[in-house]
Amino acid sequence: MGRIIDATGIQFRMLNTRKGPAVQAPRAQADKQGYRLRMKSVVENQPGLMVQQGTVRKLLIRDRKIFGVETDLGYRYGGDAVIVTTGTFLKGLIHVGLSRFPGGRAGEPPAVELSDNLRSLGFIIGRLKTGTPPRLHGASIDFKDLVLQKGDPDPHPFSFSTKTIQREQVPCHITYTTPRTHEIITKNLDRSPLYSGRIRGVGPRYCPSIEDKVVRFPDKERHQVFLEPEGLDTEEIYANGISTSLPFDVQKELVQSIPGLSHARIMRPGYAVEYDYVSPLQLFPSLETKIISGLYHAGQINGTSGYEEAAAQGLIAGINAVQAIQGRSPLVLDRSEAYIGVLVDDLVTRGTEEPYRMFTSRAEYRLLLRHDNADLRLREKGYRIGLVSEEEYEAFQEKKERIGRELGRLRKTFVFPIADVNEVLEAEQSAPLRNKTSLFHLIKRPELDYAKLAPLDPTRPKLNRGIRSICEIEAKYDGFIQRQTAQVKRYREMEGIRIPEGIDYGMIQGLSREVVEKLERIRPASIGQAGRISGVTPAAISILLIFLKNRRSRIG
Amino acid sequence: MTANLSDQDTICSISTPPGQGGIGIVRVSGSQALSLARKVFVDGSGRRLKSGRGYTIRYGKIIDPETRAVVDEVLLTVMRAPKTYTREDVVEINCHSGVVIVRRIMELMVSLGARPAEPGEFTKRAFLNGRIDLAQAEAVMSLIAAKSDTALRIAMQQLGGELSLRMKGLKEKLLHLLAEVEVSIDFSEEDCHPIGSAILEKRVREILDDLGGLIETGRQGKFIEEGLVTAIIGKTNVGKSSLLNRLLMEDRAIVTPFPGTTRDVIESTVNIEGIPFRFLDTAGFRYSEDPVEKEGIRRSRNSIEKADLVLMLFDLSSRPNEEDRKIARLARGKEVVLIFNKKDLVDDEKREKEFYNELIEEIRPKATVSTCLLHENGVVKLKSVLSGLVFQGGSGFNESVVVTRTRHLHALEEARKALNRVMQHSQEGMSEEFLSLDLREALDAVGRITGETVSEDILNEIFRSFCIGK
Ligand SMILES: Cc1cc2nc3c(=O)[nH]c(=O)nc-3n(C[C@H](O)[C@H](O)[C@H](O)COP(=O)(O)OP(=O)(O)OC[C@H]3O[C@@H](n4cnc5c(N)ncnc54)[C@H](O)[C@@H]3O)c2cc1C
Ligand SMILES: Nc1nc2c(ncn2[C@@H]2O[C@H](COP(=O)(O)OP(=O)(O)OP(=O)(O)O)[C@@H](O)[C@H]2O)c(=O)[nH]1
Ligand SMILES: [Mg+2]
């Protein structure tokens, strides 16, 4: 996916460049058709993959184990593992104003039978809601007075394998709603399916409709609207920021009350969609369902929202389906290894009541989960399960070795408090040295960095940008990284104490009924996971530890 | 709340042998136990502790390493692993000067790096390290459950009123600040204004001031002055006001031969073995039409509600009846001590038994004392029962009065340290995610007192306070 967005992205921007490396994040805007077609072709040409299309209405189950699916035409496809990724399609219901019609996305029919089928198998079904903004015709927009937002001049690719971004880059524009917009919205709330009680699904708080924003934050005078091109070969513009389910005529009026859009034509109206999701508490961390063996759920069906969230789960479910078929143990990433680990653990441990989106603040070990070290964190694992080629792996090994060598060198290379050195430091407005100091230590000074130390470091090897930057980060934030590493060690200890399957929590003395109920429902795999379940107290954890110890001694 | 479970920490707590209120023991267990003791102890001839072997007892002084002030004269017992209760190195510091000094020694150990033990943690370690046999395991589990429940309940109760408000305010301020910091990380595309280091530092300074105030309050023992709320209840004329006066050793409440003398709650604090008890003398229970007396009886009921401990009086010269059971029922779920008064009128064990059997169906008293308050008989016994209850491991008061407070203080100190780091890093120009790390630590520490988790709270606060979302 990284490679395909690198090939089809039309605007790349690194977010948070003002801040440290741990929270900088690459963002790309896709050419939506371009991305889709390129990905389709990759999938179709993937050796060993057979692509078939059809609407699944039923899962084929025998003895709580899946053996295939059945389509609405009655065709059956066999398989030892099935991954369900229905997005917003399960009983999808689209709202525009007070009219509503069944649909997974605008213009596509929903999956109704499959939802009932899942329910009858014992899955707990909930209802969520999400929305989209109207799509505008670019030629009808007056961009002249709007704020221009360009991509980065030197775009940072997503994939470690991409050298440079080739595709033509386009700018976005920013405009703002006006008091008039808010007036239009307020006046028409009675025709909003959200505010007239027609929509029951829970929407995401981080991605509210414009109606919601105006109602919940009445003091805010204006809201940002990003005008984003949908692709290079289309005039369509995505009006990001005014997601709405108001009636078409109101949408038109509200769009035209926004500077630059006074003559804008809506090509497709915005809408809200309500859909079924399946409680992720019914999943193992492998994303296999707890009640049907061989069945996996991934993506929006698990209550998430967003491309990355869906992609992360698709990857994990895909890997684990194959691992299971090959009789190998599942790949589970933990919270200190990857955002994927945070995402999956949050879902299967705490569940979600609103569409779940990843935020860096959800990660305890954020300073370790950086995009610059993604390969250092995960390539090894990828290689072991056969997702990384020998070639790539060798290159990676070499990179790792270089980093190790360079960090070692920085620690062992000292500079001394002599005039030459202090002159260089002074030029950077850095305090003169009093004692001999390692380069590693010197990099930590806020006003210095790896590049600035070059004059003091004549023997430094030639290294590429990635390696230089990771060495700089490791040295500069050494203290913080060590603190987080110590936290991770504690965390891993607790993760390492496994809770055997099938224990009867009701039998454990001293646990409150509420705690027993939660533990029974979620059946955590480790003491660490148990501790993250809401309502499970430290005292309950102590009791569990003692119980486990007791049990082990009895068995052993 | 991140459960503080690491078995590598060195832990300490206060324990006191039952019935010996005057002696307090600070017990330290873990790999650092000896090195901590070395830092504070010098023996009779002014020597520091050497690497003691096996089991030794020494006489000497505890000295605050920072101020060099002598805290107390003590007996120091060193027990080397593995032949100890927890199978870790254990040091016990015995001192004879009452709770306040014991508490100071405990705080000293904490400031040097020991962690206040969670309820039942010594026993837990003993078990995990294989010291306790399997048959005892279940007992340990219910003990932990019971202890942490009482400890938390009482802790929150005692935090009550102003203190708890201040704690809540502190948490809210921290949470809001963290939300401001986080919003600029996760939602940097939104047009929310980043908080900026000047404002951030101002806010941190404000919170540090609040914290400092709270820590001072804790240090001066204001927590402890609130005392254990102890309600004196019973029918009219059984001798409740006489008991209060005897405990206070002064004529505080009016005593007359007429039933229904006390109408309002009379409150007075008495120190017993260094522990403050807040006694509430109440209006006696009986049926009454008098609106003043009815209000008094309602207040008696309230007093039971808020009490940590209930002293329930009976008149041995009467026979037990349904009324007595009703009164007992009011105190269900409380720690109760039964007092059989007017022993001078009927000194008969059978009568006591009769009462006891009648009441036992309603409550499980912690202790029974018979008295003659007319002649100050049994008061000394009662006092020692009361202090014993507090010091005994089993009652849960132990943690509530002393240790919980030390744990609170410890948590507040941790929060303060974390916030000082926030200040420092902000002044060094570090960006938000680094500040967030320590803000979270501060919030976690406060969360350990209020018993709340924070991770979801942060997002909730962000979504509540900021209009987020394209
Ligand atoms: C207009 C719009 C804009 C968005 N913009 C963004 C954005 O900028 N950033 C972002 O992160 N997220 C965005 N999202 C959200 C994101 O698209 C989804 O969260 C994500 O695609 C979910 O992935 P998924 O694989 O779970 O489901 P989907 O991508 O919805 O895919 C579900 C697929 O399953 C098929 N299907 C359903 N039921 C059946 C069945 N019974 N049988 C066979 N096939 C079936 C459907 O045909 C569909 O192809 C946007 C969504 C929309 C609608
Ligand atoms: N003989 C005898 N009389 C006692 C004893 N203790 C208290 N009295 C007497 O009992 C009477 C009532 O005592 P109080 O202390 O006023 O009783 P009370 O429970 O406070 O009564 P109310 O306030 O009316 O509910 C007084 O006359 C006391 O002197 C005792 O041990 N023996
Ligand atoms: Mg009285």
Count of CB atoms within 10 A of residue A203's CB? 23
A387 pLDDT tier (thresholds 50, 70, 90):
very high
Q: Does A389 touch chain B (CB under 8 A)?
A: no
Determine the pLDDT at residue B151.
Answer: 47
Q: Is the pLDDT of residue B166 over 60?
A: yes
**B341 touches ligand 2 (CB under 6 Å):** yes
- pLDDT, mean over chain B: 80
Across the interface, whether the CB atoms of A545 and B134 are under 8 A apart is answered no
Among protein residues, the one with the nearest Cα to ligand 2's atom 12 is: B237
Determine the pLDDT at residue B162.
Answer: 54
> Which residue bears the tokens 């070692």?
A408
Does a structural domain hold residue A2?
Answer: no
Give the best-scoring range by mean pLDDT among A77-91, A488-502, B381-395.
A77-91
- pLDDT, mean over chain A: 93
B98 pLDDT tier (thresholds 50, 70, 90):
low
B137: chain A residues, CB-CB within 8 Å: 546-547, 549-550
Q: Quick one: A79 and A115 in the same domain?
A: yes
Torsions phi, psi of A461, nearest 5?
-75, 160
More confident: B366 or B224: B366
Question: Residue B29 half-sphere exposure, CB side, CA atoms within 13 Å?
Answer: 23
Does a structural domain hold residue A275?
Answer: no
Q: Quick one: A99 and A225 in the same domain?
A: no
CATH number (domain holding residue A255): 2.40.30.260
Q: Is the pLDDT of residue B274 over 60?
A: no
Does a structural domain hold residue A4?
Answer: no
Q: Is the pLDDT of residue A199 over 80?
A: yes
Q: Quick one: A148 and A245 in the same domain?
A: yes
State which amino acid sits at residue A40: K
CB A494 within 8 Å of CB A473: no
Which token pair is B150? 């009482």
Q: Is the pLDDT of residue A258 over 90?
A: yes
CB nearest A361 (choices: B137, B142, B459): B459
Q: In chain B, what percentage of residues exceed pLDDT 70?
A: 77
Distance B271 CA to ligand 3 centre (A): 21
Nearest chain A CA: its distance from B282 CA (Å): 35
Determine the pLDDT at residue B467.
Answer: 72
Across the interface, whether the CB atoms of A19 and B455 are under 8 A apart is answered no
Q: Is the pLDDT of residue B212 over 90?
A: no
Q: Quick one: A120 and A238 in the same domain?
A: no
Rounded to whole angstroms, the Cα distance separating B56 from B227 reads 36
For the segment B398-449, what is each residue's pLDDT rounded down to a tens digit?
Answer: 333 344 556 677 788 889 999 999 999 999 888 899 999 999 999 988 877 7
Which token pair is A522? 């979620």
Q: In chain A, what percentage of residues exceed pLDDT 70?
A: 99
Q: Is the pLDDT of residue B391 over 80?
A: no
Q: Quick one: A246 and A160 in the same domain?
A: yes
Determine the pLDDT at residue A514.
Answer: 86
Q: Is the pLDDT of residue A212 over 80?
A: yes
Q: Is the pLDDT of residue B84 over 90?
A: no
CATH number (domain holding residue A526): 1.10.150.570
CB nearest A546 (choices: B141, B429, B470): B141
Choose from B1, B414, B428, B433 for mutation: most chain A CBs within 10 A: B433
Tell me what the mean pLDDT of segment A175-202 comes to. 94
Number of A to B CB contacts under 8 A, please give it.
143
Determine the pLDDT at residue A277.
Answer: 98
Residue partners of A369: CB distance under 8 A and separation at least 6: A22, A336, A337, A338, A339, A342, A360, A363, A377
Q: Does A45 touch chain B (CB under 8 A)?
A: no
Residue ranges and CATH numbers for the domains of chain B are 5-132 (3.30.1360.120), 140-222+402-451 (1.20.120.430), 227-373 (3.40.50.300)
Tell me what the mean pLDDT of segment A160-170 comes to. 90
Rounded to whole angstroms, the Cα distance separating A289 from A292 reads 6
Does a structural domain hold residue A376?
Answer: no
For the segment B312-333, what is each residue's pLDDT rounded down to a tens digit?
Answer: 999 999 999 999 999 999 998 8
Q: Is the pLDDT of residue B451 over 80?
A: no
> Which residue bears the tokens 């790949």?
A331
Ligand 1, residue A105: give the atom nearest the CA: 53
Q: Does A549 touch chain B (CB under 8 A)?
A: yes
Q: Quick one: A463 and A409 in the same domain?
A: yes
ipTM: 0.85
The environment of the single-atom ion ligand 3, i.e. residues with CB closer than 5 A, is B 240-241, 261-262
Does a structural domain hold residue A34?
Answer: no
Tell me what the mean pLDDT of segment A179-203 comes to. 93
Rounded to whole angstroms, the Cα distance separating A134 from A177 reads 14
Identify the domain containing residue A153 by its residue range. Answer: 134-269
**A55 touches ligand 1 (CB under 6 Å):** yes
Tell me what the mean pLDDT of segment A38-54 comes to. 95
Which token pair is B244? 């209060």
More confident: B99 or B414: B414
More confident: A382 or B164: A382
Provide the 3-class DSSP secondary structure of residue A415: strand
Distance B315 CA to ligand 2 centre (A): 9
More confident: B66 or B23: B66
Q: Does A267 touch chain B (CB under 8 A)?
A: no
CB nearest A510 (choices: B145, B186, B459): B145
CB B165 within 8 Å of CB B444: no
Q: Quick one: A106 and A205 in the same domain?
A: no
Across the interface, whether the CB atoms of B141 and A545 are under 8 A apart is answered no
For the segment A290-313, what is each residue's pLDDT rounded down to a tens digit?
Answer: 999 999 999 999 999 999 999 999
Among candidate residues A433, A458, A484, the one where a domain is terminated = A484
Across the interface, whether the CB atoms of A538 and B128 are under 8 A apart is answered no
**B86 touches ligand 2 (CB under 6 Å):** no
Q: Is the pLDDT of residue B139 over 60?
A: no
Across the interface, whether the CB atoms of B185 and A361 are under 8 A apart is answered yes
Rounded to whole angstroms, the Cα distance separating B261 from B237 reads 8
Nearest chain B CA: its distance from A542 CA (Å): 8
Considering only CA atoms, which of A307, A228, A207, A306 is closest in space to residue A5?
A307
Residue partners of A272: CB distance under 8 A and separation at least 6: A94, A95, A96, A129, A130, A131, A193, A194, A199, A203, A209, A244, A245
Question: Rounded to two decimals, what is the model's pTM?
Answer: 0.74
Q: Please report which ligand is nearest the Cα atom of B285.
A: 2
Q: Are strands B335-341 and B309-315 parallel, antiparallel or unpaired?
A: parallel
Q: Quick one: A305 and A226 in the same domain?
A: no
Q: Quick one: A182 and A113 in the same domain?
A: no
Does a structural domain hold residue A119?
Answer: yes
Tell me what the mean pLDDT of segment A406-416 comes to. 95
Tell me what the mean pLDDT of segment B171-192 comes to. 86
Buried b / exposed e across A333-350, counting CB within 10 Å, b at 16+?
bbbbbbbbbbbbbbbbbb
Does a structural domain hold residue A409?
Answer: yes
More confident: B447 or B5: B447
Q: Quick one: A457 and A338 in the same domain?
A: no
B455: chain A residues, CB-CB within 8 Å: 362, 364
B218 pLDDT tier (thresholds 50, 70, 90):
low
State which amino acid sits at residue B231: A
B72 pLDDT tier (thresholds 50, 70, 90):
confident
State which amino acid sits at residue A475: A
Q: Quick one: A101 and A217 in the same domain?
A: no
* Least confidently predicted of A143-152, A326-335, A399-408, B91-100: B91-100
Q: In chain B, what percentage of residues exceed pLDDT 90?
A: 36
Considering only CA atoms, which of B433, B438, B359 is closest in space to residue B194?
B433
Considering only CA atoms, which of B226, B232, B225 is closest in space to residue B248?
B232
Question: Which residue stretches of B221-290 are H helix?
Answer: 222-225, 240-248
**A306 touches ligand 1 (CB under 6 Å):** yes
Rounded to whole angstroms, the Cα distance separating B334 from B367 reads 13
Among candidate residues A307, A333, A357, the one where a domain is terminated = A357
Tally of domains within chain A? 4
Rounded to whole angstroms, the Cα distance separating A237 from A225 reads 12
CB A66 within 8 Å of CB A292: yes
* Least confidently predicted of A91-95, A210-214, B46-50, B256-260: B46-50
